[in-house]
Amino acid sequence: MLARPRLRALCLRNARHTLPAQSQRRQINHFVSQNPPTADQPPPSQPQTTFTLAVKDNITTVSPLPTTTCASPFLASHASPFQATIVTQLQSFGAQLVAKTNLDEFGMGSHSTHSAHGPVAQSLGGSPYSAGGSSGGSAVAVANEEVDLALGTDTGGSVRLPAAYCGVVGYKPSYGMLSRHGVVPYANSLDTVGLLARTVGRIRELVVERGLWKVWDGRDPTSLGEATRRRCAEGREGCNGEKGRGLEGVRLGLPVEYNIEELEGRVKDAWVEAAGRLEERGAKVVPVSLPTTRHALSAYYVIALAEASSNLAKYDGVSRGQGFGEEVKRRILLGSYTLSSEAMDNYFLKAQAVRRLVRRDFDRVFRLENPLQDEQEVFDLSEMSDDIPMESKLGPAEVDFLLCPTAPTLAPKLEDVMSGQGVLDAYMNDVFTVPASLAGLPAVSVPMPVEGEERMAGLQLIGQYWDDAKLLGVAEAVSEVLRGTK
């Protein structure tokens, strides 16, 4: 048993698509445009509306909210000629699109403050706090119970971090599972569509029971083909929608390298407390080692910024110095440098090598094999931390999922973010989320209570590639335990 111890004027304003007028909503600023839900019944050929939906404003929609701004002056009045596949899929399930949500410009940020529409905030005790980024608007809409489900994008934690700060559930699927057609790209090898809801069950119903995970989209070059999906699903529990067995016999790994100096004591205590409660419900909790973790954040920002600079090169070079915000310009410059002939070998290529090592670390600690790898990785015992016990002479215990905080800190006050937090501090918020993104793995953040705090932390579960169905089932059980309902 573990011990417990301004462009604000560029915002869309017209008769059909207006920003919310209430003072509370002006304060939190989470909607870019809104189409209030109606009681009108859908045509007979369409399903009855079963849930309301908000969509991050870097995901294209055509009706009833046709504009996609990416929170950037460049796209202030851009109307997409087509709709994102994921939005169409959810509408076929009965979703009613009621809002487009605010974000960091082009998804680049950790607090949803780098927006042409102004910063997003969540209100706690009457004070504005960071909503996390870059899908902060989506997370706030869910937390305020204004929508049942919200779409975000997760490149290095942009769904999971806002979920943690706002006390909701945030899910990043395996890379290539959910279609990205219609998503304005940030970093192509990392971008995923993510879902936010108040319960894991809502997300599990759509992804697993209603079969979102099965759907190949030929318009998305990163979408796994149908045959590959079937192969990846072989031996994966829960892919046919069956309910899992809960926590009994599930082995959870606590990465020792995640116990970093920047981890707040309150968050660490809540992590240990949660692990202990899960053990009481039948899970087995063991320490594991992910040696490359200390290099993952640096590698992520080299790769992501290089890809971002390439993606944003299509915007007019004469005007983008004025059109882009400071954070986007910073990332373009850094990314362009890492792709330069004098720096590529020292930065970009080395970051790609680190990415392979991060994926190797995950493959070595999971019981399940990675279906995209020909051979199962094994530990070189000389690389392991002395803190990791051997299960047998062959090496340490293998686990089903990793259990760790989603963010190293609780949500900071918005004024502190706007005035005092440095760029490196903001980047550090992603330290626990980027490893799964580099490896393309599924991950879920569920709300984790913190003793004596109104603010919630996030508890993250990370699974092997394409083990999304079981991950969501276990995350649902974990969430029930943390809420005290199981």
Name the pLDDT band for 49 (thresholds 50, 70, 90): low
Is residue 1's pLDDT more than 60?
A: no
Tell me, what amino acid is at 177? M
| Residue 454 belongs to a domain | yes
Residue 27 Cα to chain centre, angstroms: 24
Provide, rounded to the nearest whole percent, the portion of the chain with pLDDT above 70: 86
Task: Check residue 172 and give its pLDDT.
Answer: 98
- The active-site residue, picked from 33, 56, 130, 135, is 56
pTM of structure: 0.91
Please tell me the predicted confidence (pLDDT) of residue 397.
79
Q: How far apart are CA 38 and CA 99, in angstroms?
A: 13
Summarize pLDDT for 158-192 with one digit per residue, the tens: 999 999 999 999 999 999 999 999 999 999 999 99
Task: Answer for the pair 405, 271: CB distance below 8 angstroms, yes or no.
Answer: yes
Task: Assess if residue 155 is contained within a domain.
Answer: yes
Q: Of 130, 135, 138, 158, which one is the catalytic site residue?
A: 158
Q: Confidence band (pLDDT; 50, 70, 90) for 390? A: low
351, 335 contact by CB (below 8 A): no
**Is 56 considered catalytic here?**
yes
Domain count, the chain: 1
* 336 occurs within a structural domain: no
Active site residue 127: no
pLDDT value at residue 13 = 33
Q: How confident is the model at residue 126 (pLDDT cuts 50, 70, 90)?
A: confident
Residue 346 covered by a domain: no
Residue 134 bears catalytic tag: yes
Is 340 among the domain residues? no
Point out the catalytic residue in the list 134, 138, 174, 479. Answer: 134
Residue 203 in domain: yes
37 φ, ψ to 5°? -60, 145
Domain around 111 = 8-290+398-483
Dihedral sign from CA coordinates of 66, 69, 75, 81: negative
Q: Look at residue 82 and tell me if it is in a domain.
A: yes
- Residue count of the chain, please give it: 486
Which CATH number does the domain housing residue 410 bear? 3.90.1300.10
